[in-house]
Amino acid sequence: MSVAATPRDIGLCAPTLPTPPTSIPWLGLTAVLMGTFISTLNGRLSSFGLADIRGAVGAGFDEGAWITTAQTVAQMFVTLIAVWMGAAYGPRRVLIWASLSFAILSLLTPYSATLPMLLTMQFLGGLASGFFIPLTLSFILLNTPPKYWAFGIAIYALNLELSLNISASLEGWYTEHHSWRWIFWQNVPLALIMTLCLRRGIANKPIIVHPPTDVFALITGGSGLALLYAALDQGNRLDWLSSGLIWGLLLAAALLLLAFFVHEARIPDPLLNLKVVFGAPVPSLFLLIAFLRLTILATSYLIPLYLGSVRGYRDLEVGDALVWVAVPQLIFCPLAALMLRRSDARLVASIGFIFISVACLMVAYGLTPIWGTTQFLPSALLQAVGQSFALSGVVFFGVLHLRPKDALTFGAVLQTARLMGGELGSAFVTTLARVREQIASNLIGLHVQAGDARVLRRIDAYGAATTHALDPGGALHRGEVVLGGVVRAAATTQAVIDGFIAVGFLTAVALLIVVFRSAAPEGPASALPLFPVRRPEPP
């Protein structure tokens, strides 16, 4: 009489490894890559359209600052849950439900009448979209032939960069020609197309074995990362450690993450392999991706800061500059993939970091208060090449070290590095620009003394240049206003210059990390699957 295998028996069996795929599931690949695009695009659009969204729900600046935080905190919280559910139920089931939920939430979010309702919808939307990116890379590696992995990773990098840099143009076009509500509604058709591609393009495979559910790890790890992200996102607005709220968020995050790591170190079957988390090459990969997100956020923050504050450009006009970082990557990402197949991933990443650093220095040593979008074009093109090469090279370098048993850990680290690295970069660049602008304004103000003959002549000249027929006696006041604007423009320009210098220096540090890394293995673990299927032995 045969005896049914118990779950314990199943867990002890040697894995049966399926044959690596020989064809590309185009619809499935389109679906998961579309998820990456939607997730990044949605978060970035909310940032650009925040003023219109705040006005629609009657929120002030401080209250409205939590609108974007609510969404990304949810994405961070669900990271570990997403990679576990992908292993337990398969990417198809998880992503179909996530994309349908995201479409419904995106449709309903613009109808939020109050700020608490909007924050709730944003949080729920973040939970749904948080499943998209962690499962993308695993699908690429599981369902495409190994010889095409470099192209899949390059397109994965392209999606992240493209959506981040075209969002200003899209948001400006929506608000100019339609309504701020399209910031959310544009996700509905994209998510529905993604759902259709998932249903048609990914096979519904049977579930053989569920990985063990570590509820304590999922809750403590996700909550700790979410609270840490919230502290970083709100730190600049609340002046960091001067705020009791920031202290509370940081301490709570530290306690939860400490409990998570202690728990993972003590149980026999942890959710994450801590030897992988703290062993080579994962820590350096985390650092490199954080550096990359810093450079990306620097471009998408510092350039709009300059064009908006100094030149008075609108979002649509700012997008004319950022689009030149996005569009050329349609050409350079495939080129990066070809190089990855034929050369060392460290070389590709190094070329990218060199280009990014040079692009930052081009802006730092050439920027003046009269620059417009045209002057940013050469550096934007160079940075587009650099970002394509650097991100593709770094991710592929990590893939070359993959082992099947480390898949969940790698997926969690990649998503955490993307979100947390981006927030660290954003917090650093935002704080640096604010502090350097204050310092520059004070230093310039030392040379603008009341009663100084040169200052008076400058005020008279500005007043004469702005003479108004209806108010000829107000020339002095207008001259003072113009002088104040000139000082602010000069201080902001100097802050942007300092920001690009800092980013260029940090990119050079990242280059050194890449150069001194050891060569990767010959191949990605002989194309073994990320989540090996364990089958019971014959009775």
Distance between CA atoms of 142 and 140, rounded to whole angstroms?
Answer: 6
To the nearest 10°, the Cα dihedral for 254, 256, 258, 260? -150
Residue 525 has what pLDDT?
A: 41
Sites in the chain below the pLDDT cut of 70: 1-22, 44-48, 160-161, 164-165, 168, 205-212, 273, 297-298, 315, 402-411, 449-453, 455-456, 458, 460, 462-477, 521-539
pLDDT one-digit tens code per residue, 437-458: 889 888 887 777 666 667 667 6
Can you say whether the dihedral through the CA atoms of 426, 48, 390, 340 is positive or negative? Answer: positive
Angle separating helix axes 315-326 and 149-177, nearest 10 degrees: 170
Tokens of 385: 């090449």
Residue 403 has what pLDDT?
A: 65
Task: Give the DSSP letter of residue 531.
Answer: S
Report the first-to-last Cα separation within the chain, whole angstroms.
9
* Cα–Cα distance list, 264 to 144, 269, 288 (Å): 32, 8, 25
Residue 57 has what pLDDT?
A: 81
To the nearest 10°, the Cα dihedral for 526, 131, 223, 280? 20
Residue 4 has what pLDDT?
A: 41
Q: Are 238 and 66 in contact (CB under 8 A)?
A: no
Give which of 98, 86, 104 is closest to 130, Cα–Cα.
Answer: 98
In a 3-state reduction of DSSP, which class is residue 242? helix
Burial 346-368 (b: 16+ CB within 10 A, else e): bebbbbbbbbbbebbbbbbeebe
Tokens of 537: 């032995």
Phi first, then psi: what are they for 137, rounded to 5°? Answer: -65, -40
Q: Are 147 and 20 in contact (CB under 8 A)?
A: no
444 CB neighbour count, 10 Å cutoff = 15
Burial of 201 (0-12, 13-18, 19+ CB in 10 A): middle
Residue 474 has what pLDDT?
A: 66
Residue 10 has what pLDDT?
A: 33
536 CA to centre of own chain? 41
Residue 471 has what pLDDT?
A: 58
DSSP 488-519: HHHHHHHHHHHHHHHHHHHHHHHHHHHHTSPP
Q: Are 194 and 36 in contact (CB under 8 A)?
A: no
E strand spans, 141-206: none
Burial 97-111 (b: 16+ CB within 10 A, else e): bbbbbbbbbbbebbe
